């Protein structure tokens, strides 16, 4: 592989930016099992709700699925070499529950554990620290057939799964993320049904969210019991800072509703041990089936909070309609602003302001940005490289916001760009490319994008400064 660093086009300001970060700051990239692995029917892997959802007509763009994806299952050596050439200090990936427990519980598929053994050993051999997400949405189908996350039993099945993985990898993996974005699993999967398993029932979303958090709390001690003493366990939440479009009282009301629904629904139980007061009433729904002790379990102390952030929320109150927390009026696209292919406003200060809010309002000892990135229209002409200047600018401006947040007191310890490589973007299929490495799916060729060279150059400059 060409000397990847000589291909980067860093400015003097970029070099200054790299030097702004403290020694020990962790630079990584993130992926998820169903989005990159493929090998969907190999070596004993069972079916997941995303296999089922993708196979359901009309659910995923052009009927695409994760059967092959980026074929990572067959390219471990190539992809770990790619990560090493980029200079990554860490790699965040997820474990496919159906590879480990094809029925969701019970019989262990050791071939599945062997795959992650090989991945972890390959990363460690290259000096790359594994950050393992135990659940990134691929619930085994048999558990969904019993009701999935709306059933309390699934929380216990998840904790059993987490322990099986920790027993195998806990001697080498010291950084664990229990869940990825339970808000998406609950609301997109069970509330409005645009994600797997495709249930459209807002009460089910609250019940699923509760059991996801219960699974998190049940799993934390079981992960710790099988990991090295210096291990750390956290959770990753998708969060966004909420801004008021004006000072009107109805706008202030809607800002509070949007914050409750988008952020505090999960932040408050996990970090404060209680749901946000009045939250369920604002939604016009019943409380989920909370049992004695649940909130104590859910709020079991964690070592860090993982933050996934892509954009901000801008809210404009509407007196004619008293919204429910999940129906707040967001401001229409702003002509002067820049938007990604996902329709998300590019607003770098949103990440900085979010980290500062979390620092101010929640007693988090450590923060990691576990996902941040952008989808833009990337094209590859079959040779040369992929020009993606908008992604370079997105990364540059958001990373600059991290430096400001740290300088203002945020306990930020690391950043994982989403994503290492283009991948299956859920209901959008392969139509949205988030990678700093381009995947030519017909050939599975990996082509480092301009943003990948830039990120590698930033990491090299950071390492040279320390
Ligand atoms: N959409 N989008 C990109 C990205 C998605 O690909 C990840 O799997 C999720 O954790 C999170 O939603 C963010």
Kindly give, in sequence order, each residue whose CB lies less than 8 Å from that of residue 368, ignoring residues fewer than 6 positions away. 26, 131, 234, 304, 305, 306, 307, 412, 413, 414, 415, 416
Question: Which token pair is 215?
Answer: 């699974």
Beta pairing partners, 308 = 238, 371
Predicted TM-score (pTM) above 0.95: yes
Cα 326 to averaged position of ligand 1 atoms, centre (Å): 20
pLDDT tens string 333-357 = 999 999 999 999 999 999 999 999 9
Assigned token pair, 419: 């994503």
In order of 284, 315, 321, 323, 380, the CA distances from 327 in angstroms are 12, 11, 10, 5, 39
- The alpha carbons of the chain give a radius of gyration, in whole angstroms, of 21
* Contact of 456 with 4, CB cutoff 8 Å: yes
Smallest CA separation from ligand 1 atom 8, residue: 32
Q: Find the mean pLDDT for residues 418-433.
A: 98
User: Using CA atoms, how far apart are residues 63 and 154, in angstroms rounded to an integer?
Assistant: 28
Q: Tell me the average pLDDT across 219-231.
A: 97
- Dig out the tokens for 4 from the structure: 């990847």
Per-residue pLDDT at 174 exceeds 80: yes
pLDDT above 70: residue 3? no
Residue 160 has pLDDT above 90, yes or no: yes
- Count Cα atoms within 13 angstroms, Cβ side, for 89: 15
Measured CA angle at 319 (ends 279, 192), to 5 deg: 45
- The yes-or-no verdict on residue 273 having pLDDT over 90 is yes
Q: How far apart are CA 146 and CA 158, in angstroms?
A: 14
Is 320 a residue of the active site? no
| Owner of token pair 């019993």 | 146
User: Reduced to 3 states, what is the DSSP secondary structure of residue 360?
Assistant: helix
Q: How confident is the model at residue 47 (pLDDT cuts 50, 70, 90)?
A: very high
Which residue's entry shows tokens 């007191």?
409
Instruction: Collect all residues with Cβ–Cβ distance below 8 Å to 231 and sequence separation of at least 6.
Output: 170, 173, 174, 175, 176, 223, 224
Alpha carbons 384 and 401: distance in angstroms, whole number: 31
pLDDT at 7: 61
Peptide bond before 197: cis, by omega within 30 degrees of 0? yes
Q: Is the pLDDT of residue 2 over 60?
A: no
Q: pLDDT band at residue 1, thresholds of 50, 70 and 90?
A: very low
Mark whether 153 is an active-site residue. no
Return d(Cα 40, Cα 26) in angstroms, integer.
Answer: 31
Q: How far is the CA of 91 from the centre of ligand 1 (A)?
A: 16
Residue of 37, 181, 345, 450 marked catalytic: 181
Is residue 374 within 8 Å of residue 435, measured between CB atoms?
Answer: no
DSSP string, 432-448: ----SEEEETTTTEEEE
Q: Which residue has its alpha carbon closest to ligand 1 atom 1?
A: 425
Give residue ranges with CB within 6 A of ligand 1.
32, 35, 180-181, 308, 342, 371, 418, 425, 434
Q: CB-side exposure of 287: number of CA atoms within 13 Å?
A: 10
**Could you report the predicted ipTM of this complex, rounded to two decimals?**
0.99
* Spacing, Cα 320 to ligand 1 middle (Å): 34
């Amino acid at each position: 592989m060409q000397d990847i660093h000589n291909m980067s086009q860093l400015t003097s300001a970029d070099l200054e930016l790299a030097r702004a970060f403290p020694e020990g700051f962790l630079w990584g990239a993130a992926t998820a099992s169903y989005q990159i692995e493929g090998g969907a029917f190999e070596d004993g892997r069972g079916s997941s709700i995303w296999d089922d959802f993708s196979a359901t007509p009309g659910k995923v763009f052009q009927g695409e699925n994760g059967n092959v994806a980026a074929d990572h299952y067959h390219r471990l050596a190539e992809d770990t070499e790619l990560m090493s050439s980029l200079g990554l200090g860490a790699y965040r990936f997820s474990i496919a529950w159906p590879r480990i427990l094809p029925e969701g519980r019970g019989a262990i598929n050791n071939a599945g554990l062997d795959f992650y053994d090989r991945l972890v050993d390959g990363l460690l051999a290259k000096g790359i620290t594994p950050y393992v997400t135990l659940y990134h949405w691929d619930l085994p189908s048999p558990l969904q057939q019993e009701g999935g996350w709306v059933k309390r039993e699934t929380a216990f099945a998840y904790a059993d799964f987490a322990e099986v993985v920790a027993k195998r990898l806990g001697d080498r993996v010291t950084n664990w993320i229990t869940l990825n974005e339970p808000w998406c699993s609950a609301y997109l999967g069970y509330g409005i049904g645009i994600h797997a398993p495709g249930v459209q029932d807002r009460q089910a979303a609250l019940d699923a969210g509760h059991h996801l958090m219960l699974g998190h709390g049940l799993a934390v001690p079981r992960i710790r019991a099988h990991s090295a003493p210096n291990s750390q366990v956290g959770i990753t939440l998708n969060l966004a800072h909420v801004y008021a479009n004006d000072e009107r009282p109805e706008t202030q009301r809607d800002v509070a509703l949007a914050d409750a629904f988008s952020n505090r629904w999960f932040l408050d139980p996990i970090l404060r041990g209680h749901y946000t007061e009045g939250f369920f009433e604002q939604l016009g729904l019943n409380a989920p089936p909370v049992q004695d002790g649940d909130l104590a379990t859910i709020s079991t102390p964690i070592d860090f909070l993982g933050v996934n952030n892509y954009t901000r929320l801008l809210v404009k109150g509407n007196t004619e309609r008293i919204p429910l927390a999940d129906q707040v009026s967001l401001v229409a696209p702003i002509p002067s602003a820049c938007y990604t292919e996902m329709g998300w406003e590019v607003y770098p200060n949103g990440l900085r302001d979010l980290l500062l809010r979390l620092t101010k309002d929640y007693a988090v000892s450590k923060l990691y940005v576990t996902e941040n990135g952008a989808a833009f229209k990337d094209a590859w002409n079959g040779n040369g490289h992929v020009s993606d200047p908008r992604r370079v600018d997105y990364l540059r401006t958001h990373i600059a916001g991290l430096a400001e947040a740290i300088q203002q007191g945020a306990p930020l310890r690391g950043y994982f760009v989403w994503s290492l490589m283009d991948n299956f973007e859920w209901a959008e299929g392969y139509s949205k490319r988030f990678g700093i490495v381009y995947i030519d799916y017909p050939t599975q060729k990996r082509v480092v994008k301009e943003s990948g060279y830039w990120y590698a150059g930033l990491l090299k400059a950071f390492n040279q400064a320390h």
